[in-house]
Amino acid sequence: MGSSMARGDIENLATDFFGLFESFKHAPFYHIIIEVSLLLAVVWLLFFRKPRPIEKKLTEKEKQELIDEWQPEPLVPPVDSNHPALNVRVLDGIVGKTVEIDGRKSLNFATFNFLNFVGNQRIADKAIQAVQKYGVGSCGPRGFYGTIDIHLELEERLAKFFSCEEGIIYSYGFSTIASIIPAYSKRNDILFVDEGVHYAIQKGVEASRSHVKWFRHNDINDLERLLAEQDVLDKKNPKKARTIRRFLIIEGLYVNYGDICPLPRMVELKYKYKYRIFIDESVSFGTIGQTGRGITEYYEYSIGSIGGFAVGSSFVVDHQRLSAQGYCFSASLPPLLAAAAIEALNIMEEDHTLLFETIMAKSKRLHKKLLSIKGYIINGDEISALKHLRLTNSLNTVGRLEEIVQFAQSRDITITVARYLTDEHHLPEPSIRLILNVEMTDEELEFLCTVLQEALVKVTA
Amino acid sequence: MSPKTAINQKMNKSFSSNLKTKCAYENEPKYQDHEDFEETPTWAAVVTVLGYAILSALGWLRDFLRHIGFEEKKTAHDPNPKNFVPLYQSYECFYTRNLYTRIRDVFNQPIASVAGAKVHIMERISDDFNWTFKFSGKKIPSINLGSYNYLGFAENQGPCSEQAIKSIEKYGVSTCSTRHELGNQRYMQELETLMAEYLNAEDCIAFGMGFATNALNIPTLVGQGDLILSDRLNHISLILGARLSGATICPFNHNDMKDLESQLRKAIISGQPRTCRPWKKILIIVEGVYSMEGSLCKLPEIIELKKKYKAYLYMDEAHSIGAIGSRGRGVVDYWRVDPNDIDVHMGTFTKSFGSAGGYIAGKKALIDHIRIYSHSACYSTSMSAPVCYQIISALSIIMGRDGTNDGQQRIQQLACNVRYFRRQLVDMGFIVYGNDNSPVVPVMIFMPAKIAAVNREMLKRGCAVVTVGFPATLLTESRVRFCISAGHTKEMLDHALKAMDEVGHLVSLRYSKQKPHRRWIELDRADYDKEYLS
């Protein structure tokens, strides 16, 4: 009975299956496709899909708790009210060759007034004339009626002075180099930078977001090593190398060290390894004379005015007119400062051999005199008008240097400790920055050395 | 009686009555706060994009012709040997070569006089389609609608310039030293004290350049582990400062408080990306008046949000200080909020004070911190004496310290001028963006070719205007931006409106769908004159 039922069932089953197959053959094609896909989907879901972790969604209450609990830090950390920056000397008068502090006149070896243009009557007259013609501010960026004819004149004069094709001026020295570097060097480019460059260049390098390779200060061998390493990488991938721009950023005369960069060798390397050079001549312009002329500069100091400029071939300089942020998006230089700069250039061009020769000669003499004082380390080239003075080894602390400065002030000599921010890339050793003014007489230089000697005795006693 | 005397009399009356009341704001006319950004008509957007497409196609054709030598290459050449990596990507210059150079003559126009209400533009001629320029020697006298001279202090005569000249004689032009060393002069302290009083803040510090004030001081306030929420249309100096600081930047939609709130909530709840640590602090950066849009920030709502979520607020009042508010104290004055609610007040002296430089004001602890750690204070030459004295005398005038009410008159004159000018432009059918009270008046042009057309035609009619296109604005939103000044008289504004009316008719600039298109003579003069005098 069971087996006949079973056989009957099997037969029915077989017929059903056969009927099923028959119906498949007659079914439309898309029907089969859909069914097959469904089957595959089920198989995938079962075996191949990775289980996704269930996201923990926060409830509104929890979110509100997080918001209520969050406590920010104070906007600024507490400050030390004894910090020297909060207790600076307040002056009230011209800071030229002499400066008046607390009613006493002292010789000024602290400000960047190399050619003694501060207080120069000719420059002041021209500045006054500019105010009477143009007012004080320029009321707009260069693109929107902020370009005054005096700016164009200054740019032409600067270009002519440096025998370059074109010049471009900025309204603030710091932002000159900080805008120029990002205008040319982008994310994929490489910058070879000297470790001893000053802060504005460091900021410009940061803003450009390029790869930076620092080489030891003024060490040409270290630079060559880095260039050779880069060359090896280039040879491995020449296609990529053709799209990477390279720049060398150096200073003509380093503000933090007082020494001069070895330019000729760097130019040789430039043509060998194919990079472009940017030189910052903030201090060497107007003090060194023949060496150090290059593509980028900024004048803030020796010309007795404020601002910055760059000179070079038209090909290079023109690009900045549209892409340098500090030029396009900022108000232009007040016309009176441009007028002061033009007059200073006039003076420099008139008796330039005398002015520059004098300052270089005096720097050499001062250097010799300073070397003769035992106990000080003098940093800086002998023809440089900017020198750094340090005490030997472990004696060299900011505290002792400040004592020397105060002692000198009591003897009517004004000098200053070089100030830096703590987040410099390569913080220089504490030092006193001595700046020579071209109008200083030999007696005054003698007096300076005497005072420094006495100070040394007092501090190391 | 001339209109100006009538205004003066009315102002004198209201000013003296103000002095009598305790609250300085009671007797003042309530300004309507209305902001409008009419949507771009679709057909205009389409035609604009089409225009750019045609220009690009032509540009490619010309580049090709230059490449095969058919046309002369006019750009400068690289003096370095050929195997150096090229200094510029060729597509970076595509825009400069083919689009910008066509209309280069309308930008960077040099002037030969003080940038006051009237200015002399030096005429330039080009023989080779704007590749090089020559000066013809002629000077075109025009009404200056482009310079930032809101209170009319860009003068070469008067008490301000006299003070500046005296200061050059006493102090020279530069100090050649930094604030930390020997550059700290008494006049700088005077300026800072005066500015702090003006803003009703505890302390203030001033710098030599406005752009650098932002770029070099934001890094001293925030750093890695902090969050900056900045408005999408912030000025590039703020963006640069934010980038240099190393903090994380999250933009929020322009003036969109809902977006700001949701970003704040998300930031506090989720914390830093990847590590989920809580943020150390959150800084909201906004501007008082946005110079390309003419819009004001919604300060009361931002302050409410800031207090609710414990964030800090950095306000850049470059265009609003002196120009907005019944006493010229900026958006804080306009919205009548407590200055202590804003953590960092920042502004520039270039626009309303006719000078140069920037300032930051706030609590004493904040300013002390900036004095020590600012890049600018430590490494840059301190401000020049004439620049400082110009600001000091302008401030004295605005605050009424010089004994006259010249300052208040200027502020009222500016407000009058702005209302008069804006209303007529809107009633003529132009699309004007921005707040009804902002002295920055952008009128939409949309199409690239019209940028040059408007500028040239307005100059022919004796008005110097500023027209901007891509990349300063969005591709389809080119505009002409008027900057109204207190130095503009009613006659000057009428002349400018007539010129705009003609140019608008010539070039078809009347796009508004909300208002009927009318010519200037069709407007009811009596209606506007009445408002101007009241």
Mean pLDDT of B246-263: 92
Choose among B110, B176, B386: nearest Cβ to A148: B110
Q: Which CATH class is domain A120-348?
A: alpha beta
Residue B200 lies in a domain: yes
Residue B81 lies in a domain: no
Structure-block tokens of residue B285: 């950066």
Closest CA to B379 of A79, A14, A112: A112
Mean pLDDT of B124-135: 85
Q: Which residue has the higher pLDDT, A243 or A125?
A: A125
Select from B399, B419, B448 the last residue of a domain: B399
Of A5-19, A294-308, B241-255, B309-323, the poorest mean pLDDT is in A294-308
CATH of the domain at B97: 3.90.1150.10
The whole-angstrom separation of Cα B447 and Cα B47 is 7
Which residue from B minimizes the CA distance to A91?
Answer: B185
Q: Give how many domains chain B has, as a whole number.
A: 2
Helix (H, G, I), strand (E, B) or coil at A366: helix
**What is the β-pairing status of strands B134-144 and B118-125?**
antiparallel
Are B345 and B418 part of one and the same domain? no
Tell me: pLDDT of B308 over 70: yes
Question: B364 touching A, CB under 8 A?
Answer: no
Closest CA to B334 of B25, B26, B36, B35: B25
Of A252-261, B199-208, B232-241, B416-425, the poorest mean pLDDT is in A252-261
For chain B positions 226-245, those within 8 Å of chain A (CB to CB) are: 235-237, 240, 243-244
Q: Which residue has the higher pLDDT, B269 or B88?
A: B269
The whole-angstrom separation of Cα A250 and Cα A108 is 29
| pLDDT computed for residue A306 by the predictor | 65
Tell me: pLDDT of B362 over 90: yes
pTM > 0.90: no
CA distance B43 to chain A (A): 30
- Going by pLDDT thresholds of 50, 70 and 90, the confidence category of residue B259 is very high
Give the rounded percent of residues in chain A with a pLDDT score beyond 70: 92
Choose among B122, B365, B378: nearest Cβ to A419: B378
Tell me: pLDDT of A252 over 60: yes
For chain B positions 271-310, those within 8 Å of chain A (CB to CB) are: 278-282, 309-310
CB A203 within 8 A of CB B217: no
| pLDDT computed for residue A259 by the predictor | 80
Q: Which alpha helices (H) appear in B21-106, and where do they start and end?
A: 42-67, 90-95
Are B215 and B92 part of one and the same domain? no
The whole-angstrom separation of Cα B378 and Cα A416 is 13
CATH of the domain at B284: 3.40.640.10
User: Which own/partner pairs from A207-214 qualify as long-range (CB within 8 Å, at least 24 positions apart)?
Assistant: A207/A178, A207/A181, A207/A182, A207/B240, A207/B243, A207/B244, A208/A181, A208/A182, A209/A182, A210/A185, A210/A186, A214/A425, A214/A426
Closest CA to A361 of A446, A448, A287, A261: A287
Are B182 and B249 part of one and the same domain? yes
Are B265 and B163 part of one and the same domain? yes
Whether residues B147 and A319 touch (CB distance < 8 A) is answered with no
Whole-number mean pLDDT of chain B?
85
Helix (H) or strand (E) holding B19: helix B3-20
| pLDDT computed for residue A4 by the predictor | 60
Span B14-30, pLDDT tens digits: 333 333 333 334 444 44
Q: Which residue has the higher pLDDT, A407 or A290?
A: A407
Are B449 and B312 part of one and the same domain? no
| pLDDT computed for residue B440 by the predictor | 92
Contacts of B483 (CB under 8 A, 6+ apart): B145, B146, B147, B148, B149, B150, B439, B440, B441, B466
Choose among B85, B176, B184: nearest Cβ to A118: B176
What's B504-521 look like in SS3? HHHHCCCCCCCCCCCCHH
Phi-psi map region of A28: left, alpha, beta (phi>0 left; psi -120 to 50 alpha): beta
**Chain B residues whose beta carbon lies within 8 Å of the beta carbon of residue A340:** 173-174
**What is the β-pairing status of strands B227-231 and B203-207?**
unpaired
Structure-block tokens of residue B429: 């059918």
Choose among B119, B173, B176: nearest Cβ to A145: B119
Whole-number mean pLDDT of chain A?
82
Residue B381 lies in a domain: yes
CA distance A49 to chain B (A): 26
| pLDDT computed for residue B360 by the predictor | 94
Phi-psi map region of B383: left, alpha, beta (phi>0 left; psi -120 to 50 alpha): beta
User: Please, where in chain A does CATH 3.90.1150.10 lie?
Assistant: 90-117+352-460
Whether residues B381 and A66 touch (CB distance < 8 A) is answered with no
Q: Which residue has the higher pLDDT, B196 or A59?
A: B196
CB pairs under 8 A between A and B: 343
- Going by pLDDT thresholds of 50, 70 and 90, the confidence category of residue A42 is very high
Are B331 and B421 part of one and the same domain? no
Are B173 and B131 part of one and the same domain? no
Mean pLDDT of A79-89: 81
Choose among A75, A139, A330: nearest Cβ to B115: A139
Give the rounded percent of residues in chain B with a pLDDT score beyond 70: 90
Q: Which residue has the higher pLDDT, B29 or A347?
A: A347
Mean pLDDT of B500-528: 85
Output the CA torsion B304→B307→B309→B311 (10° steps): 110
Closest CA to B421 of B391, B447, B400, B441: B441
Are B335 and B225 part of one and the same domain? yes
Whether residues B379 and A331 touch (CB distance < 8 A) is answered with no
Domain A90-117+352-460 has CATH 3.40.50.1470: no
CA distance A86 to chain B (A): 7
| pLDDT computed for residue B74 by the predictor | 66
Helix (H) or strand (E) holding A175: helix A173-184
| pLDDT computed for residue B458 by the predictor | 93
Tell me: pLDDT of A20 over 80: no
Helix (H) or strand (E) holding B411: helix B406-428
For chain B positions 475-534, those within 8 Å of chain A (CB to CB) are: none
Residue B512 lies in a domain: yes
Whether residues B310 and A329 touch (CB distance < 8 A) is answered with no
Q: Which residue has the higher pLDDT, B267 or B70?
A: B267
Choose among A85, A92, A198: nearest Cβ to B372: A85
Task: Classify the complex by whether its ipTM is higher than 0.90, answering yes or no.
Answer: no
Are B140 and B288 part of one and the same domain? no
Question: B162 touching A, CB under 8 A?
Answer: no
Residue B420 lies in a domain: yes
Choose among A93, A207, A304: nearest Cβ to B176: A304
CA distance A449 to chain B (A): 21
Which residue from B minimizes the CA distance to A244?
Answer: B85
Are B351 and B280 part of one and the same domain? yes
Whether residues B184 and A147 touch (CB distance < 8 A) is answered with no
Whether residues A123 and B110 touch (CB distance < 8 A) is answered with no
The whole-angstrom separation of Cα A345 and Cα B194 is 36
Are B384 and B365 part of one and the same domain? yes
List phi, psi (to 5°) of B440: -95, 120
Range of the domain at B285: 159-399
Whether residues B156 and A134 touch (CB distance < 8 A) is answered with yes
Are B363 and B437 part of one and the same domain? no
